[in-house]
Amino acid sequence: MTEFETLAGVAEPGKLYGIGVGPGDVRYMTLRAAGLVRSVDVLAYFAKRGRMGNARKIVAPLVAPARRELKLEYPLTDEVHVSDPAYGEAIARFYRESAETLKNELGEGRSVGLLAEGDPFFYGSFMHMWRRLEGSVAVEVVPGVTGMSGCWTRANTPMTWGDDVLSVVPGTLSEALLVERLTRCDAAVIMKVGRNLAKVRRAVETAGMIDRAIYIERGTMSEERIMPLRACADEIGPYFAMVIIPGNGRRI
Amino acid sequence: MTEFETLAGVAEPGKLYGIGVGPGDVRYMTLRAAGLVRSVDVLAYFAKRGRMGNARKIVAPLVAPARRELKLEYPLTDEVHVSDPAYGEAIARFYRESAETLKNELGEGRSVGLLAEGDPFFYGSFMHMWRRLEGSVAVEVVPGVTGMSGCWTRANTPMTWGDDVLSVVPGTLSEALLVERLTRCDAAVIMKVGRNLAKVRRAVETAGMIDRAIYIERGTMSEERIMPLRACADEIGPYFAMVIIPGNGRRI
Per residue in A67-96, pLDDT (tens digit) is: 999 999 998 766 677 678 888 889 999 999
Q: Does residue A158 share a domain with residue A41?
A: no
Q: pLDDT digits over A101-133, tens only?
A: 999 999 999 999 999 999 999 999 999 999 999
Q: Does residue A107 share a domain with residue A167?
A: no
Q: How far apart are CA A163 and CA A248, in angstroms?
A: 10
With H, G, I as helix, E, B as strand and everything else as coil, classify residue A89.
helix
pLDDT, mean of residues A180-185: 94
Q: Does residue B168 share a domain with residue B107?
A: no
A241-245 and A187-191: which strand pairing? antiparallel
Percent pLDDT > 90 in chain B is 85
With H, G, I as helix, E, B as strand and everything else as coil, classify residue A60.
helix
In this complex, is the C-beta atom of B27 within 8 Å of any C-beta atom belonging to chain A? yes
Structural domain contains residue B41: yes
Q: How far apart are CA A69 and CA A44, in angstroms?
A: 6
pLDDT, mean of residues B32-42: 97
Q: How far apart are CA B46 and CA B44, in angstroms?
A: 7
Name residues whose C-beta falls within 8 Å of residue A98's C-beta, 6 or more positions apart in sequence: A46, A72, A129
Residue ending a domain, among A145, A172, A197, is A145
Structural domain contains residue A51: yes
Q: Does residue A178 share a domain with residue A108?
A: no
CATH number at residue A166: 3.30.950.10
Selecting from B121, B149, B157 the residue whose C-beta is nearest the C-beta of A119 gives B149
Structural domain contains residue A250: no
Q: Does residue A116 share a domain with residue A25?
A: yes
Residue ranges of alpha helices (H) inside chain A are 4-8, 31-39, 54-58, 85-107, 126-133, 147-154, 175-182, 197-206
Measured between beta carbons, the chain B residues lying within 8 angstroms of A31 are 4, 26-31, 34
In this complex, is the C-beta atom of B17 within 8 Å of any C-beta atom belonging to chain A? no
Q: Does residue A94 share a domain with residue A29?
A: yes
Please check whether residue B72 is in contact with residue B49, taking contact to mean a CB–CB distance below 8 angstroms: no
Please check whether residue B143 is in contact with residue B137, taking contact to mean a CB–CB distance below 8 angstroms: no
CB atoms within 10 A of CB B106: 22
pLDDT at B20: 98
Please check whether residue A158 is in contact with residue A246, taking contact to mean a CB–CB distance below 8 angstroms: yes
Structural domain contains residue A252: no
Per-residue burial over B22-55, b if 16 or more Cβ lie within 10 Å, else e, is bbbbbbbbbbbbbbbbbbbbbbbbbbeeeeebbb
Are the beta carbons of B4 and A2 separated by less than 8 Å?
Answer: no
Model confidence at B79, in pLDDT bands (50, 70, 90)? low
Structural domain contains residue A89: yes
Model confidence at B229, in pLDDT bands (50, 70, 90)? very high
Q: Does residue B215 share a domain with residue B174?
A: yes
Structural domain contains residue B85: yes
Q: Does residue B112 share a domain with residue B80?
A: yes
Residue ending a domain, among A92, A113, A145, is A145
- Alpha-carbon torsion B112, B117, B122, B125, what sign? negative
Q: How far apart are CA B235 and CA B252, in angstroms?
A: 39
DSSP category for residue B239: T
CATH number at residue B8: 3.40.1010.10
Q: How many CA atoms lie within 13 A of A62 on its CB side?
A: 30
Q: Does residue B82 share a domain with residue B189?
A: no
Q: Does residue B97 share a domain with residue B193?
A: no
Q: What total number of domains does chain A contain? A: 2
Are the beta carbons of B149 and A143 separated by less than 8 Å?
Answer: yes
Q: Does residue B63 share a domain with residue B31?
A: yes
Measured between beta carbons, the chain A residues lying within 8 angstroms of B8 are 4, 27
pLDDT at B3: 86
What ipTM, to 2 d.p.? 0.95
- Over its C-alpha atoms, chain B yields an Rg (Å, rounded) of 19
Are the beta carbons of A149 and B156 separated by less than 8 Å?
Answer: no
CA dist list (Å): A86 to A30, A81, A89, A107, A192: 38, 9, 5, 32, 21
Q: Does residue B28 share a domain with residue B117?
A: yes
Q: In 3D, which of B227, B181, B230, B231 has the Cα closest to residue B207? A: B181
Q: pLDDT digits over A126-160, tens only?
A: 999 999 999 999 999 999 999 999 999 999 999 99
In this complex, is the C-beta atom of A8 within 8 Å of any C-beta atom belonging to chain B? yes
pLDDT at A164: 96
In this complex, is the C-beta atom of B34 within 8 Å of any C-beta atom belonging to chain A? yes
Selecting from A30, A160, A251 the residue whose C-beta is nearest the C-beta of B28 gives A30
Selecting from A123, A150, A167 the residue whose C-beta is nearest the C-beta of B143 gives A150
Structural domain contains residue B250: no
Query: Over chain A, what is the mean pLDDT?
Result: 94
Measured between beta carbons, the chain A residues lying within 8 angstroms of B27 are 7-9, 30-32, 35
DSSP assignments along A153-193, one per residue = HHTT---B-TT--EEEEETTS-HHHHHHHHTT-SEEEEE--
Residue A122 region by backbone torsions, left for phi larger than 0, else alpha for psi between -120 and 50, else beta: beta
Range of the domain at A233: 148-245
Please check whether residue A181 is in contact with residue A240, taking contact to mean a CB–CB distance below 8 angstroms: no
Measured between beta carbons, the chain B residues lying within 8 angstroms of A156 are 134, 141
Structural domain contains residue B252: no
Residue ending a domain, among A145, A174, A202, is A145
pLDDT at A168: 98
In this complex, is the C-beta atom of B22 within 8 Å of any C-beta atom belonging to chain A? yes
Which pTM does this prediction carry?
Answer: 0.96
